Amino acid sequence: MATTTTSTSSLPYEKERRIAELAVQRAAILSKAVYNSKVKGTLEKSDNSPVTIADFGAQALVFASLRNNFPDDNIIGEEDSGDLRSNKELASLVFKAITEAVYSNTTGQSSSESSSSNELGVINNEAEMLDLIDKGDCTDSGKGRVWALDPIDGTKGFLRGGQYAIALGLLVDGVVTVGVLGCPNLGEEGGVLLSAVKGQGTVVRPLTSDFSTLPDPSRVTMNPITTTSDATFCEGVETGHSNHNLQAKIAAGLGITKPSVRYDSQAKYAALALGEAEIYLRLPSSMKYEEKIWDHAAGSLVVEEAGGVAFDMYGEKLDFTTGRTFKKNKGVIVMPKAIQEDVVRVVREVAIEVYGGKSSL
């Protein structure tokens, strides 16, 4: 990773980037508190994926910040309040976790939170929290300003003490324009906060436990490799989320001999931007699965602004205009621009042979 000190004053989307960073940082503080507590309130959703107090609480907190600062924007969020409305005990635990982690003393708010709470939004009671969680029900991602949030991406990683991310992106007319990834277990102690604005590059800062300030940023760029055999692969941990056997064959076909880095969540995109690996491959375990836009919006911009590209497995751009899920893309490949031709050729050939051509979507 190359890093240089940078200034981001008076640039387009400066407020969006700052609020998104602070909102993600605040949600990361909550997620760490939930991880360190005994009760995580884990439930299984209808798609068999887990959801926890941290997922609901982080969504409520980030949405409070978005509503407070950008009340006219639409929002797409992974969670809704259905499971909490039918489980009052869990709803109370989520509100308690937010109150303790963020509004931490009984006389009001902790000193660092009080200075930022007006700006980042306050959640006054449980009913307000439930209503906020439901603000992420937008279905049209292609028009106007739409935020896409995964409050805890990689919930399985979060529960295992592995990698997870709080991922927030802003789409403007379907184009990812701001992307923020909070990765509490990546890099230095306390984790890292990456952010990107289209055309302005990607920066990283340490995640802190302070609600109102952001440490100085450093610019990041992907490793400038020019040969695929110099690459390290990055892939998911969960074998049900991508086809590891096929990914291993592709790695061998690209002459890659180094062991893969395996991370849950969009920490994979962060790892590429930070130079821990160069190629992220996610080949579908089932062609029926539609990737969620909140699993890729923030991460794809963070990588693109660090010198990379994010395509589907057929080598076409990710299309964020198709609602809550990708309808025109299957699989994801992410890599530095310098090796995109070679990587895309190999992955595309395999994709067509194994899954069929794009016309079969």
What does the binding site for ligand A3P look like in residue numbers (CB under 6 A)? Answer: 49, 78, 150, 153-155, 157, 236, 238, 240-241, 264-265, 285, 289, 292, 295
User: Would you say 71 or 259 has its CB closer to ligand A3P?
Assistant: 259
The pair of structure tokens assigned to 82 is 């259905």
Annotated binding residue 80: no
Q: Cβ of 244: how many Cβ atoms within 10 Å? A: 19
Q: How near is the Cβ of 198 to ligand A3P at its closest, in Å?
A: 23
| Residue 87 contacts residue 130 (beta carbons within 8 Å) | no
Is residue 208 among the annotated active site residues? no
Helix or strand holding residue 100 (H, E): helix 88-102
Of these residues, 52, 155, 202, 228, which one is catalytic?
A: 155
User: Would you say 214 or 347 has its CB closer to ligand A3P?
Assistant: 347
Q: What angle do CA 103, 104, 109 make, to 5 degrees?
A: 50
Annotated binding residue 83: no
Q: How near is the Cβ of 74 to ligand A3P at its closest, in Å?
A: 20
Helix, strand or coil, per DSSP, at residue 98? helix
User: Would you say 21 or 153 has its CB closer to ligand A3P?
Assistant: 153
Rounded Cα distance, 217 and 238, in Å:
32
Is residue 55 among the annotated active site residues? yes
Strands 43-44 and 192-197: unpaired
Q: What angle do CA 26, 32, 35 make, to 5 degrees?
A: 145
Rounded Cα distance, 155 and 265, in Å:
8
| Residue 286 contacts residue 259 (beta carbons within 8 Å) | no
Annotated binding residue 250: no
Q: How near is the Cβ of 134 to ligand A3P at its closest, in Å?
A: 18
Q: Cβ of 287: how many Cβ atoms within 10 Å? A: 13
Rounded Cα distance, 306 and 297, in Å:
15
Q: How near is the Cβ of 295 to ligand A3P at its closest, in Å?
A: 5
The pair of structure tokens assigned to 140 is 């049209």
Q: How near is the Cβ of 154 to ligand A3P at its closest, in Å?
A: 4
Rounded Cα distance, 266 and 235, in Å:
10
Q: How near is the Cβ of 311 to ligand A3P at its closest, in Å?
A: 17
Annotated binding residue 153: yes
Identify residue 286 by its one-letter amino acid code.
Answer: S
Annotated binding residue 78: yes
| Residue 317 contacts residue 359 (beta carbons within 8 Å) | no
User: Would you say 203 or 350 has its CB closer to ligand A3P?
Assistant: 350
Report the binding-site residues.
78, 150, 152-153, 295
Question: Which amino acids are annotated as binding site for Mg(2+), given as ranges?
Answer: 78, 150, 152-153, 295
Residues with catalytic roles? 55, 155
